Chains A and B, each alone.
Chain A
Amino acid sequence: MSESEMAMLGHGGMLMEGSPYSIPSRKLTMWLFIISDAVTFGAILFAYGYLRVATPDWQTPFNSASIINVATMTFVLITSSLTMLGAVDASKDGDKPKALRFLGCTMVLGLIFAGLHIREWFGLFNQGIKLSSGLFGQAFFSITGLHLLHVLIGVVALAVVARKYSSGSLTPGHVETTGLYWHFVDLVWMFVVPLVYLTNIAR
């Protein structure tokens, strides 16, 4: 195919039927992935709820200190979504340095979240709560572990996208798509906090 023909094809799809959602394929696929991943989290949260409802003597280990910690983590993660928004906006305006600064902030906030999370994990280890220590431990560590894995993958993805965006091989569209993923990971946390933390406060 010639260059001009390719360009023609691109401009509003003269030779193709328009997508019903009028968004790029990459973004559509990210949305599809988010739906699929939400179902995965849904399944694992269902497993947690199923076992919790069936267990009369469920362990509830969290005290006020752990709730302050999780509130801090939540604040950090929400702020990182805000900086991600800044990065998407700046990249759309073509302000590359500003976008990269915001991406850097997002990554740092993601790492702070991970750090706080792992510190919290070690605190629980010291209390004898582990993946294999019982129903609470397995539910807590499998759910938050899956979420933390998503955060870390997100940080790596942001690093790769930032690098390639700064060298010009990726577009603002890629930044936006990565942002979708980041917001999704943030949103999942909004389900994890009430279901896994707030319902398990020691009485």
Chain B
Amino acid sequence: MEEASDQQAHVHPPPEGFLRKYVFSLDHKVIGKQYYALGLLAVCIGMALSWLMRFHLVWPTTRIPGLELLSKAGAPGGIITPEYYLSLLTMHGTLMVFFVLTNAPFAAFGNYFLPIQIGAEDMAFPRFNMMSFWTTLVAFLVLILAFIIPDGPPISGWTSYAPLSAVGKDAGPGMGWGMNLWAISIAIFCIGSLLGALNFIATTLDLRAKGMTLMRMPICTWAWFITSCIALLAFAVLLPACILLLLDRAAGTSFFIPSGLVVSDRLQAHSGGSPLLWQHLFWFFGHPEVYIAILPSMGIVSHILINSMRKPLLSARVIIYSMMSIGFLSWMVWGHHMFVSGMNPFSSLLFSFPTLTITIPATIMTLIWLGSLYGANIRINAASLFALGFISMFVSGGVSGFFLAQPSIDIVLHATYFVVGHFHMVMGVASLFGVFAGTYFWFSKMTGRMMNQTLGQLHFWLTFIGTYCIFMPFHYLGLVGNVRRYSSFVDDFMGPLMPLHKFITIAALGTGAAQLIFIFNLIYSRYKGVPAPENPWNGTTLEWSIPSPPPWNNFGGKHPIIYHDPYQYDVKGLKGDYIMQDSPEPSAG
């Protein structure tokens, strides 16, 4: 009887009234779309900030009209000050890592499709689900508030290294209330993500339809599940780290502030703490966070590739096991961000080894994707192009990781554009390519209309070529010693690099403009797109067995029964070359 009430906890009556339907909705599909919209808003702001930075780097004295309205002190007369450049950089990084790369591939698509793909009516705890979105939204608003207050946003980067992040106003503009808002926002974000992770795990384990054994779950469901396991532990470390930081700032403690520290000619009244402690706590969260960003995209891309190739992967299981081992190894490598931090140099070796070990599962996954592509008659459309683009970005960005993982090479490359190029490609753009692929693939299910293919493919080629033009030269800049986080390069040494910087800036402005095609496509297709059938891509998984868009309870009160592994392609089915998971027809194999 006990079980009865529990397994039914997710069933709720159909929503009534505008607020319940679209605003404070308990429906995982609406919450998924809300996360998507929040991610879209954050990515637009984050991208605009990167435009401002790129523009300032190459034309440091050119006035940007209207910028003084954003900050009088930070951009007097429309010209960005060096400090305000760092403010923009901090907000760009924080928005992108937390509100885009964590929200879009994981929280948005995961919320929408995880329950459907396992055959559930909703998440295990719909109210928690609503709470995690609204908590995340509050975190977003608190962060954005930093733009409005007179102090301005903090200048300490998305990693907020102590002791400057801990000492308060003396550390520079934005390090007073701006920094407080940052720490509060991230602490709130942690709570929202923890709630979401609990919900995802409970849903995956408890609400699977009859026959949906764990190994019959689609790869992207696995990816979301593994990601939520990582998030459950990672955000649990960042939360106390942010609280200790706030205590240092507001309550006079000195966890992260050493004795005798002089900042802005003033001796800080703190003693005995360790700035390295912050780096340990932050990166213990920070490295798994990288995999929180990339694993969902790996899952989405595998899911789409299989569908486009019309044949199974060489081994879907090995992909799942690789994702698990990446998730496991992600806990042992945080020190590779700290090779030059003053940490014991011998521990660098200790962190270097597991870092290089991570390349093994990553390479296995890449080889499985490429090996499966060999001889495949792939359907080319916007979704599959972005999935292929993901592999390209993941490999190009990942290869530079081999260099950075070795302490002796990292000492030279640390804090240069080489690192910036590496993580933008392997984690930033690659993960976003997964989001784009997912959007082109699932838009039909989410809205009931198809996205425009011509615009989609145009968007792909402009973005694909554009991102290579932006981030490949970063590696070269880093190798010749171009340090990151500088707002302008006016000295003789950097002079010869300026033409390359100009090229990157123009590529960035162009690639950014290409994203307008995507946003136009989203809005246009939402209202004017061709109405989508139930299963436009001849997919096999459960999301393609229900109408587009799905009714509020997903399966219309019916309970799907699962007969097959998720990817029965390249077989003789009743409908064509595929057999759906919930179709009782016998599998050819």
Interface residues of A (CB under 8 A from B): 1, 5-7, 9-17, 19-21, 24-26, 28-29, 32-33, 35-37, 39-40, 42-44, 46-47, 50-51, 54-55, 131-132, 134-135, 138, 142, 146, 171-173
Would you call B232 and A35 a contact (CB within 8 A)?
yes
Minimum-distance CB pairs A-B, first 5: A10-B4, A132-B252, A24-B6, A138-B253, A39-B236
Residue of B nearest to A28 (CB): B202
Does residue B341 face the partner (Cβ distance < 8 Å to A)? no
Would you call B284 and A25 a contact (CB within 8 A)?
no
Would you call B198 and A29 a contact (CB within 8 A)?
yes
Which residues of B lie under 8 Å from residue A131 when comparing CB positions?
247, 251-253
Q: Which one of B11, B235, B273 has the highest number of Cβ atoms from chain A below 10 Å of its Cβ?
A: B273
CA distance A21 to B3 in the complex (A): 12
Would you call A16 and B210 a contact (CB within 8 A)?
yes
Would you call B559 and A16 a contact (CB within 8 A)?
yes
Which of B54-62, B211-219, B445-453 touches A?
Answer: B211-219
Would you call B212 and A17 a contact (CB within 8 A)?
yes
Would you call B210 and A44 a contact (CB within 8 A)?
no
Bitwise, B451-495 to A at CB < 8 A (1) or not (0) is 000000000000000000000000000000000000000000000
Does residue B585 face the partner (Cβ distance < 8 Å to A)? no
CB distance from A171 to the nearest CB of B (A): 7
Would you call A43 and B198 a contact (CB within 8 A)?
no
Which residues of A lie under 8 Å from residue B583 when comparing CB positions?
none
Q: 17 other contacts beyond A25-B124, A25-B125, with CB at 8 A cut-off?
A: A5-B557, A10-B3, A11-B4, A16-B207, A17-B208, A19-B205, A21-B205, A25-B6, A29-B201, A35-B232, A36-B235, A40-B236, A42-B237, A43-B240, A44-B240, A47-B255, A131-B252
CA distance A10 to B4 in the complex (A): 4
CA distance A57 to B163 in the complex (A): 22
- Contacts between chains A and B (CB distance < 8 A), count: 144
Which residues of A lie under 8 Å from residue B194 when comparing CB positions?
36
CB distance from B206 to the nearest CB of A (A): 5
CB distance from A99 to the nearest CB of B (A): 15
Does residue B315 face the partner (Cβ distance < 8 Å to A)? no
Does residue B52 face the partner (Cβ distance < 8 Å to A)? no
CA distance A9 to B253 in the complex (A): 54
| The one of B201, B233, B253 that contacts A132, using a Cβ cutoff of 8 Å | B253
CA distance A14 to B561 in the complex (A): 11
CB distance from B123 to the nearest CB of A (A): 10
Which residues of B lie under 8 Å from residue A142 when comparing CB positions?
244, 247, 253
Would you call B206 and A171 a contact (CB within 8 A)?
no
Interface residues of B (CB under 8 A from A): 1-9, 11, 124-125, 194, 197-199, 201-202, 205-214, 232-233, 235-237, 239-241, 244, 247, 251-255, 271-274, 277, 280-281, 284, 557, 559, 561
Which residues of B lie under 8 Å from residue A10 when comparing CB positions?
1, 3-5, 7-8
Q: Which one of A11, A26, A42, A138 has the highest number of Cβ atoms from chain B below 10 Å of its Cβ?
A: A138
Q: Which one of B2, B9, B271 has the highest number of Cβ atoms from chain A below 10 Å of its Cβ?
A: B2
Which residues of B lie under 8 Å from residue A55 when comparing CB positions?
272
CA distance A55 to B5 in the complex (A): 54
Q: Would you list 21 pairs from A and B whose C-beta atoms are within 8 A, ordered by A residue?
A: A5-B557, A9-B4, A10-B4, A16-B7, A17-B209, A17-B210, A17-B211, A17-B212, A19-B206, A25-B202, A26-B6, A28-B202, A32-B198, A32-B201, A32-B232, A33-B198, A35-B232, A36-B236, A40-B236, A55-B272, A138-B253
CB distance from B541 to the nearest CB of A (A): 16
Which residues of A lie under 8 Å from residue B254 when comparing CB positions?
135, 138
| The one of B8, B198, B199, B213 that contacts A36, using a Cβ cutoff of 8 Å | B198
CB distance from A73 to the nearest CB of B (A): 23
Q: Given A47-B255, A51-B274, is A9 in contact with B244 using a C-beta cutoff of 8 Å?
A: no
CB distance from B225 to the nearest CB of A (A): 12
Would you call A29 and B274 a contact (CB within 8 A)?
no
Which residues of B lie under 8 Å from residue A11 when comparing CB positions?
3-4
| The one of A24, A26, A39, A146 that contacts B237, using a Cβ cutoff of 8 Å | A39
Would you call B214 and A51 a contact (CB within 8 A)?
no
Would you call B125 and A29 a contact (CB within 8 A)?
yes
CA distance A134 to B251 in the complex (A): 11
Residue of B nearest to A146 (CB): B240
CB distance from B292 to the nearest CB of A (A): 14
CA distance A53 to B4 in the complex (A): 52
Which residues of A lie under 8 Å from residue B253 when comparing CB positions?
131-132, 138, 142
Would you call B274 and A54 a contact (CB within 8 A)?
yes
CA distance A171 to B252 in the complex (A): 45
| The one of A6, A54, A138, A171 that contacts B8, using a Cβ cutoff of 8 Å | A6
Would you call B124 and A36 a contact (CB within 8 A)?
no
Q: Given A6-B8, A17-B213, A36-B194, is A50 in contact with B277 using a C-beta cutoff of 8 Å?
A: yes
Q: Given A10-B3, A51-B255, A132-B251, is A37 in contact with B236 using a C-beta cutoff of 8 Å?
A: yes
Q: Given A26-B9, A131-B253, is A16 in contact with B236 using a C-beta cutoff of 8 Å?
A: no
Residue of B nearest to A135 (CB): B272
Which residues of A lie under 8 Å from residue B281 when comparing CB positions?
43, 46-47
